[in-house]
Amino acid sequence: MIFEEKLIESERIYEGRILNLRRDKVTTVTGSSYREIVEHNGAVAMVVLTDEGNIIMERQYRYACKRAVLEIPAGKIDKGETNPQAAAERELKEETGYTASEIIYLGGVNPSCAYSEEVIHLYLMRGLSKGEQELDDDEVIEIVEMPFDEVYDMAVRGEIADSKTLAALLMAKGRLQE
């Protein structure tokens, strides 16, 4: 039986654009402690495969990491949006121009279960049709089409640093081998 920490009192610290922060006093086995919690509305990320076995990757500058990061297409779930798959289809269209006729749900993952409520819903998408990118004015995203197996080998060698991409590659590879 795992001890469940319960809320005693909560302090709002920050309400922002993509995240909020609060500090909760919670019950622990020895009495009480504080948990710093990032609130985030959730996100989606997609392994998008062409008929030729290529994967659609993105390279974009990530200010928090101070470098360009190679990752799968992804995006935030809008406030009030209740259908993660609709968010995934929208983000794929905006960022890459693609729509997919086959969409398989892989699962939901917690990027930082120690301090963040964020859940990222992962999808495998195939049966692509190409349209136009519809990026926001300040989005700069380079689309990179690469053989899936090459990206997977990079992941094994520690050359892909983005954890949602790694989680989705593991699940997609397993599903493709079934």
Candidate ranges 46-54, 79-87, 90-98, 99-107; the one touching a second copy (CB under 8 A):
99-107
If one asks whether residue 164 binds a second copy (CB under 8 A), the answer comes out as yes
Instruction: Identify whether 139 is a catalytic site residue.
Output: yes
**Which member of 8, 10, 60, 86 binds a second copy (CB under 8 A)?**
60
Phi-psi label, residue 162: left if phi above 0, alpha if psi -120 to 50, beta otherwise: beta
Tell me whether residue 30 or residue 101 sits nearer to a second copy (CB atom). 30
- Write down the residue that tokens 């380079």 correspond to: 142
Give the C-alpha distances (Å, rounded to integers) separating 5 from 33, 114, 133: 9, 13, 45
Max Cα–Cα distance, the chain, nearest Å: 58
Placement of tokens 């990206």 in the chain: 151
Centre a 10 Å sphere on the Cβ of residue 101 and count the other Cβ atoms it contains: 9
Is 174 an interacting residue with respect to a second copy (CB under 8 A)? yes
Is residue 9 involved in binding a second copy (CB under 8 A)?
A: no
Q: Which of the stretches 47-55, 80-88, 91-99, 169-177 binds a second copy when contact is defined by CB under 8 A?
A: 169-177
Q: 154: phi > 0 → left, psi -120 to 50 → alpha, else beta; which?
A: alpha
Binding residues for a second copy, total number by CB under 8 A: 76
Pick the binder of a second copy from 83, 86, 102, 110 (CB under 8 A): 110
Say whether residue 144 binds a second copy (CB under 8 A).
Answer: no
Q: Of residues 36, 102, 134, 139, which has the active-site annotation?
A: 139
Q: Is 64 in the site for a second copy (CB under 8 A)?
A: yes
Distances (CA, A) of 54 to 50, 125, 153: 5, 12, 13
Closest approach of a second copy to the CB of residue 16, in Å: 5
Residue with tokens 């819903």: 121
- Is 124 an interacting residue with respect to a second copy (CB under 8 A)? no
Q: Are 144 and 71 a contacting pair, CB within 8 Å?
A: no
**Which region among 17-25, 46-54, 81-89, 91-99 touches a second copy (by CB under 8 A)?**
17-25
Residues marked active site are found at: 139
